[in-house]
Amino acid sequence: MNRSFSWKTVILLITLAIFMIFYPKLVDSYFLHLTVAAFLAMIMASSWDILARTGQVSVGQAGLFGIGAYTAALLYQKVHLPPVLGMLAGAIFAMIVAVFLGYLTLRLRGIYFAITTIAFAEALSVIWLMTPGVTGGAMGVSTPPLFNGNREHAYYLILVILALAIFVVWLIEKSRLNFAFTAIRENEEVANVMGINPTRYKVLAFMISAFFTGFAGGFYSHYNTYIIPYEVFGLGISIACLVMPIFGGLYTIAGPIIGTILIKAIEEYLRVTFSYGHQIAYGLILVAVVLFMPEGLLGLWKGRILPFFGRVRQ
Amino acid sequence: MKKKGVRFILGFCGMGLMLAGFLNVGSVMAQDTIKIGAVLPLSKAAFAQAGEEQRRGLLMALEEINQAGGVLGKKVELIIEDDTGEPSVGIAAAEKLLTRDKVVALIGGYSSTITFAQLNAIQRLEPFVAWVGASSTKVEHEFGPKRWFFHYHPWDYHRQSTIRDFLLTISPRPKTVAVAYEDGIYGTTSRDYVVKYLKEKGFEIVFDERFKSGSSDFTPMLTKIKKANPDVFYWVAYAGDTTLIMKQAKEIDLNLKLFLSVAINFPQYKESLGATGDYVAGVDVWIPGMKLSETIKWMEKFKKAYPGRTPEYWAPLAYTNLMTVIDAIKRAGSSEKEKLIAAMEKTDYNSPLGRLTFKKSEEGGLHQAIDEQIITQWQGGVSHVVWPANKATSKLIYPTPNWKKR
Amino acid sequence: MDWPSLFQSIANGILIAGLYAAVTLGLTLVLGVMGIVNFAHGELVMLGAYSTFWLFTLLGIDPMLSIAMSGLILFFIGLPIYRFTIRPILKDPPLNQLLLTLGISIFLQNLAMILWKTDSRSVITSYSGMSLHLEMVHIGLTRLITFLIAVVLTVFLVFFLHKARPGRAMRAVSENNTASWLIGINVQKTYLLAFGVASGLAGASGALVSTIMYTFPMVGFKLSLKAFCILILGGLGNIPGALFGSLILGLTESFVGTYVPEGSGWAEGISFILIMVILIIKPTGLAGTRRE
């Protein structure tokens, strides 16, 4: 049984917290923007990982993201719901959709679930375009800048949500849920026999994942002030959500975080150096990870590099 | 286990920050240049063509300017950032150019969505913006009235008012029009304006439907149009769709008096359609075949710089973009913002697109460069200007001959 | 009753189904023989389309003739793809297979963007736009030829699987690869060949795509989604199912396009809506059994 709290951990966490709180004072506006974008990506990556723990791979997170984004934006537009409440509404609505979608589709095995999620996001995109009366259609929906453009406040908001997301993942790992999720992932039939109802747990994971993804969508719509269906339901978002945790290390807390940071850094570098198709890196990363390091960077670190330095693996 | 996790997070955070920080250290450069920043879409599939074309135009202008000694005795430095077609990257790029690189002017642009997000984010800085892109009136309503915002590209309604004015000059006047449009912002806004303008002038809209851009099969839609039997078929679509629409129109023997669209002068038009593309008319900002003296001169320069290429209007537009900004700096005698704005307002420049000045535009814009467009028609494999009369290089062929008789 | 419209609709639907079927054949083969859903199949089609375009543009080879050539080119591209990326993960959990083929798909899409930019490329031939004008319907010549070639490809595949030795090996392996191995079939070689043939089919259908439509780096992805829809509609891993599914999708798209108001907008989204509806109602697909 692991000691969950040791003094070293507490001190490290407090240092980290202080650093993060003073961070906006240390960097300029442009960098702060990059950081906010990175935090948003981390939330998406971590929440994707939650569902992945049950063995279900979603390639349609954009669907939930878009729902969250539009809920927040449309509620603001129609009833002037304050942004943060709008984001919360987006999160809750995405969660509700996830429950329905989940019960209907999570019985499907891996690939077919994945295909369904892609279809889900694309179908939403089409529906959105064809119903401009309700959704604003192709013209999109715009909202005034979040917190009147005060980027620091936006930063703190997203930081809190990110911390919450990480905390939730940590709670899952510490609880019986971890056992259930892992059992389902490794062998669903056996899990069933053991008394774990796979569908119910998968839906739970999907709900939690959807909450954060939906919130991220809501935040995105207010922060960027203007959303269109093509963008928020786009496949690019769904792919990004999965490349980051896979690269960093699946089914871990640190994996999605590390994966996001490195990918964002690589992306920025490539964007500045090449004009075209720097997304090719995503493809290469996916292939490389599956072939050579299925446990992602974290797995590489623990499995190959640490022992090299003579440390004992836990 | 968890300790290691936290340490990793810290360590990688640090690494990541340092990495990204280093990437931007490089932007601190020599002080004695005039820095201009441009944000272009260079890697997103649908936008990259226009972005690349703009880049070519900008680089041409840059070389010319610096060969002539730059401006105010200093060289001009052009920093181009890629918005990758994402609003948040567009915002980051604009911010970086303004706050880190400290450019004196922000130019370029393409997508209305990204423009809107960018301007929203940077307006608190009140930067000097001479923007080529964005045609959505959403941008015009919100930012047109800002004194620091100068805009080149025609707004959506300019195209449609050109269509209306053109149709009114055809004799005998066409009575019925079928309208089809792609389901994005481009198509939808265009359709809204054109339907409004045409109805005002007594045209009857007999078909009005949107389609999904990128469809492979337009025959159901074209069959419906055939049934409606309009005089004019007007559609708003991107290059790929237009190619298919014409090919399939021929397949189902759709005959009417005029095929009219928007973007029909893209480089692969002739390649992809050949004779099937003849007689199609379209509204455009500029074509290489225009007979203005500045156009001819500019085309010479372009051919030298990029042999074998046919430019789309983004190239001379971007060229003009940079040229007029530098021209304003020259006249102002300084790159200081207020003086620059004042000088820019007085711009009167002979560009490859015609005489360029900034005027007010109908829905709130203070500084609009282009408000007049041309109608071209493909005749015998050559794109001719057929309207307005003072720019025309050929007469409109109307009505369009039957497919079987060609 | 507006008969001409109805017949034209049906004709359109059947013709486009031909193209869809051609695209789905290779996907079905790989799924049937190896049990892998190749997310990168669409990109192989895309590469076939580009190869036809370049053969036409640079060497003047008529697209209809270059079908065989594009097919061959893709066959040889498929072999190393199989050997170096697919073979290592044959025994891995489906998640890995999904991610790997997805990665290849993204890689190829972006590679195409880098090499050939993003403009749409199209081929015109002397017979582009020609059509057969029957009593009540107009049938585009290129579409008709595409349809006929799709039929030819299907017949070829069926013959191959039933009469040719390697083909029969593939069928054996798909039913039970341990038993096949036991009776002396080289399972690895069979897989390799199957993937090659599937890629070749993708290449050939790519040639059809570039004549009937136009090609650009993302064209493969859009077609993949339709192919998945067809797989799910028609039962996974069997050819009659693929044909059946293609017909359903083609006809549905055509009817929606003609009869539903604003149908052209909805028609493209039909495939996704169909996927979701069918999988929700009947997780084993509309016809036939699910392949594990």
**Inter-chain CB proximity A108 and C89 less than 8 Å:** no
Question: Which pLDDT does position B28 carry in this prediction?
Answer: 44
Q: Quick check: A279 and C89 CB within 8 A?
A: no
Q: Do A137 and B188 touch (CB under 8 A)?
A: yes
Name the amino acid, one letter, at C46: M
C3-116+146-281 maps to which CATH number? Answer: 1.10.3470
Asked if A215 and A91 count as a contact pair (C-beta separation under 8 A), the reply is yes
List C residues 22-51 in contact with A (Cβ-Cβ < 8 A): 37
SS3 assignment, position B354: strand
Closest CA to A50 of A196, A242, A300, A187: A242
Chain C: touching chains (3 or more CB pairs < 8 Å): A, B
pLDDT tens by residue, A86-97: 999 999 999 999
In angstroms, the CA B34 to CA C10 distance is 64
Structure confidence at residue B113 (pLDDT): 82
pLDDT tens digit sequence for A47-72: 999 999 998 889 999 999 999 999 99
Which residues are bridge partners to B33 per DSSP?
Answer: B75
pLDDT tens digit sequence for A135-171? 887 778 888 888 877 888 999 999 999 999 999 999 9
Between CA B104 and CA B370 the distance in angstroms is 23
- Pick from C246, C237, C223: which is nearest to C42 by CA? C223
What phi, psi does B230 have (nearest 5°)?
Answer: -85, 165
* Residues contacting residue B88 through CB under 8 Å, at least 6 positions apart: A33, A37, A220, A223, A224, B117
Which of B12, B113, B187 is opposite residue A228, by nearest beta carbon? Answer: B113
Across the interface, do B217 and C12 touch by the CB < 8 Å criterion?
Answer: yes
Task: Spell C62-85 as b/e; 16+ CB within 10 A means b.
Answer: ebbebbebbbbbbbebbbebbeeb
* Cα–chain center distance at A28: 26
- Kindly state the DSSP code that residue B277 receives in the 8-state scheme: G
Nearby residues of C261 by Cβ (< 8 Å), 6 or more positions away: B209
Q: In the prediction, which pLDDT does A304 show?
A: 65
pLDDT, residue C289, reads 44
Tokens linked to B332: 């102002």
| Closest residue in B to C113 (Cα–Cα) | B45
Q: What is the pLDDT of residue C17?
A: 92
Cβ-Cβ contacts under 8 Å, B138 against chain A:
139, 142
Note whether C27 and C44 are within 8 A (CB): no
**Which residue among B89, B92, B138 places its CB closest to the CB of A142?**
B138
The string of DSSP codes covering C78-135 is HHHHIIIIIGGGTTS-HHHHHHHHHHHHHHHHHHHHHHH-S--B----TTTT-EEE-S
The interface residues of chain A toward chain B in range 231-250, judged by CB-CB distance below 8 A, are 231
Could you tell me if B113 lies within 8 Å of chain A, comparing CB atoms?
A: yes
Mutate to test the interface with B, among A226, A252, A278, A297 (most CBs of B within 10 A): A226
Ranges of residues in chain C whose predicted pLDDT is under 50: 287-292
Q: Would you call A299 an interface residue with chain B, using a CB distance cutoff of 8 Å?
A: no
Query: What does each C-alpha distance from A131 to A246, B236, B266 come to in angstroms?
Result: 36, 19, 31
Q: What is the pLDDT of residues A190-249, one digit of tens each?
A: 888 888 888 899 999 999 999 999 999 999 999 988 888 888 998 889 988 988 998 888
DSSP state of A58: P
Task: Tell which of B183, B247, B253 to mutate to test the C interface (max C CBs under 10 Å).
Answer: B247
Low-confidence ranges of chain B (pLDDT < 50): 1-4, 6, 22-29
Chosen for mutation from C9, C19, C122 (greatest number of chain B CBs closer than 10 Å) is C122
Give me the DSSP letters along chain C.
Answer: --HHHHHHHHHHHHHHHHHHHHHHHHHHHHHHHH----TTHHHHHHHHHHHHHHHHHHH---HHHHHHHHHHHHHHHHHHHIIIIIGGGTTS-HHHHHHHHHHHHHHHHHHHHHHH-S--B----TTTT-EEE-SS-EEEHHHHHHHHHHHHHHHHHHHHHHHSHHHHHHHHHHH-HHHHHHTT--HHHHHHHHHHHHHHHHHHHHHHHHHHS-B-TTHHHHHHHHHHHHHHHH-TT-HHHHHHHHHHHHHHHHHHHHHSTTHHHHHHHHHHHHHHHHHHH-TT-SSSPPP-
What is the interface size between A and C, counted as CB pairs within 8 Å?
127
CB-based contact A275:A259 (threshold 8 Å): no
Contact at CB, A298 and B8, closer than 8 angstroms: yes
Select the residue of C114, C221, C279 nearest A280 (Cβ to Cβ). C114
Whether the per-residue pLDDT at A278 is higher than 70: the answer is no
Model confidence at A276, pLDDT cuts 50, 70, 90, reads low
Q: Does B30 reach chain A within 8 Å, measured CB to CB? A: no
Contacts with A228 from chain B: Cβ below 8 Å: 113, 184-185
Provide the residue ranges of all domains of chain C, joining segments of one domain with +. Answer: 3-116+146-281
Nearest chain A residue to C263 by CA distance is A130
Hunting for tokens 């994707």 — which residue is that? A48
Q: Is C80 on the interface with A (CB under 8 A)?
A: no
Q: For residue B22, how many C-alpha atoms fall within 13 Å in the half-sphere facing its CB?
A: 8
Contact C174, C137 (CB under 8 A): no
Residue A254 contacts B, CB cutoff 8 Å: yes
The residue of chain A nearest to residue B81, with distances taken between CA atoms, is A272
Helices (H) and strands (E) in chain B, counts: 13, 14
Give the mutation candidate from B1, B2, B156 for the A interface (greatest A CB count, under 10 A): B2
- Name chain B contacts of A136, Cβ cutoff 8 Å: none
Task: Tell me if A9 sits within 8 A of B6, measured CB to CB.
Answer: yes
Rounded Cα distance, B349 and B360, in Å? 17
Q: Give the minimum alpha-carbon distance from C56 to chain A in angstroms, rounded to a whole number.
A: 25
Domain spans in chain A, listed from the N-terminal domain onward: 24-234
Q: How far apart are CA C3 and CA B346, in angstroms?
A: 64
In angstroms, what is the C-alpha Rg of chain B? 23
Distance CA B186, CA B198 (A): 18
For chain B, the chains sharing at least 3 beta-carbon pairs closer than 8 angstroms are A, C
pLDDT at position A62 is 95
Q: Are C44 and C220 in contact (CB under 8 A)?
A: yes
Residues of A in contact with B6 (CB under 8 A): 9, 12-13, 16, 254
